[in-house]
Chain A
């Protein structure tokens, strides 16, 4: 149904480097793309399970640090006289490890979400991100703290038979980020349309009913958190190897805010939402730069955010979709929980 639009979009994005020659704008697109991947992962939690996580940057940052440290190597002392020495591994391994370890952290947060919901969950996720930032800042032996991890190598891909390709240029990084973004989109799309996806949405719409129908709350939320965190970790890894310097400021709250803005203005719960929101808010600062004083740019940024939320409170994509919507099977829109129940029974 929407696949035509989706394919067209991907082709359009893929063709950008052919006509866009300005490296500054390419750079902006690449960093925006990385944050869009992060936003898509946040959308999984926010849009499809209804869990408002404001600490999402923690997974992004953890992914960045894991990937950077894996590819740089480290030498750190632990309690009881232990010492861990790690020699540098190829960045691509760092990428995989970033996903794994970030996912693990997502598991911990997911466990927590079983105990608290709503507003409390918001606070706990903010706290988690802050504690991670302070650890990154103070555990200088491992993370270099504020002295920053520098000279992080670019990602190298081993192509069978063709040797190694180091992704150093903008063009290469652009396609890398685009590929990861497309894969992420497809992954989330499959997930959302599977029975697991319906379970998530059932939970979001009416938890008591969902539980009574046999949906395992803990398992669903935890799994969603793990996948979401893992993807964010992947984005963080891309960030580390592109910008090539990581310091604890990566955990700054403003970065979570950026991703949240992308998701909610684009339309949480919609697959294309984070992409649309991301393009707008990732590139807005670029367009504001030449026309306004620096302080005014920020005021405009806040202003645009407020205006979009007032005019299109459900987000851009859902609002647009509503205008062009065809009537769907009424049953499915009205009672996703019932469908989840059917799926649960089928897979029992």
Chain B
């Protein structure tokens, strides 16, 4: 899985150097993801998912008669690098469209470059509301911002009979955004909101926060963070004898990894996810889900990563569909085509609706949100 030599960009560079290439033999999609740094694990999952999509498309003949080529660059989990990488992909590699950049601050750093070079980007994971509301018409997002997640959760909330909730969120835009949007939704429903505790991105010991939450009068804790911290939170909560109901959000939960690493501590926890790799038949597109999962397993990847990598898969398929619709691999045409496509993504229809200030709207798709529960080390749909 670890390659020591990047063949694809090296060839692309060679072509550019030798040729002054007049006619491209492939259609390129720029992939701007964190492969090193704090988000390396997630970025790698997304890239591997993207590769499955590209290979699938190429096996069926490619797009517009040409092969799809993913130009993958590492943004090192760093906003400055993310912007530099976008620049390189657009100006040096001449990609007509990008997918990226995983984290919200990474995506935000890339956005001015998209405006400058008038190139569209499909955002596959970032959740900050700002991305689609600051008036950047080159952004097309398939992942849900916390506001949409909160809206989707609204329907479930009554059935769970929540009375008062606390929040324990990661101290970044994703966590804080979730706390804000979910709080608003809860209050509208008459549910009281108690404490809002945060934890630093790299923190491993949340015992202090959990001890505090153990003593409050809320019966539920909403937790938003990535799988590593979730594992720690469950273990530490269990060690503290914390018996409240825990619901996680955000879509980066990787429940299989949690079960494997937190063991019994994970039982009884519920998770709001955006993909159901365990129940392919319950997903909106069972055939594609089954294909994706079998390919993923065939390549020897960690099954736990499916809940993140499917976004890379859907992202590339979205881009490919737009290129097909546009009829040519050019930024302006692809951008226009993105508004017209409708494909069956792995967790819902991908259709872009307008979001943001008038005249410069971004595209936002509305994926499904599911509630699952871990019982006795197994994942099940929460029956309500």
Contacts and interface: CB of A to CB of B under 8 A. Distances in A.
Asked whether any CB of A lies within 8 Å of a CB of B in the complex, the reply is yes
Contact of A249 (B35, B79, B134, B174): B79
Interface string B71-113: 0011010111001100110011000000000001100110110
Contacts of A294: 35-36, 74, 76
B87 A146 contact: no
A326 B294 CA distance: 72
A150 B108 contact: yes
Contacts of A243: 79-80, 83, 109, 112
Contact of B171 (A22, A23, A138, A254): A138
B6 A151 contact: no
Interface residues of A, number: 33
Given A22-B91, A27-B84, A245-B112, A296 B10 contact: no
Contacts of B78: 249, 252, 254
A61 to B, nearest CB: 13
A310 interface: no
User: Which secondary structure dominates chain A's binding surface?
Assistant: helix
Interface in A281-340: 289-298
B171 A146 contact: yes
A245 B87 contact: no
A24 B172 contact: no
B249 interface: no
Interface in A26-45: 27-28, 31
B4 A293 contact: yes
A252 B81 CA distance: 14
A341 interface: no
Contacts of B92: 22, 24
B173 interface: yes
A248 to B, nearest CB: 9
B108 A295 contact: no
B5 A293 contact: yes
A195 interface: no
B87 A290 contact: no
Contacts of A252: 78
Contact of B105 (A140, A148, A290, A297): A148
Contacts of A134: 200
A124 B175 CA distance: 30
Contacts of B172: 146
Interface in A45-84: none
Contact of B13 (A147, A150, A247, A290): A290
B171 A24 contact: no
Contacts of A151: 134
A65 B36 CA distance: 26
Contact of A292 (B6, B73, B91): B6
Contacts of A292: 4-6
Contacts of A295: 2, 35-36
A291 B14 CA distance: 12
B196 to A, nearest CB: 11
Contacts of B173: 145-148
A245 to B, nearest CB: 5
Contacts of B76: 294
A148 B74 CA distance: 21
Contacts of A290: 6, 9-10, 13
B28 interface: no
Given A27-B87, A147-B177, A293-B4, A245 B36 contact: no
Contacts of B177: 147
A31 B2 contact: no
Contacts of A148: 104-105, 108, 128, 130, 173
Residue with the highest number of chain B CB atoms closer than 10 Å, among A22, A23, A245: A245
Contacts of A24: 84, 87-88, 91-92
Contacts of B88: 24, 289
Interface in A91-114: none
Interface of A: 22-24, 27-28, 31, 134, 137-138, 140, 145-148, 150-151, 243-245, 247, 249, 252, 254, 289-298
28 contacts: A23-B91, A27-B83, A27-B84, A31-B80, A31-B84, A137-B171, A146-B174, A146-B175, A147-B130, A147-B176, A150-B108, A150-B111, A243-B79, A243-B80, A245-B105, A247-B105, A249-B78, A249-B79, A249-B105, A289-B74, A291-B6, A291-B10, A292-B5, A294-B35, A295-B2, A296-B4, A297-B74, A298-B36
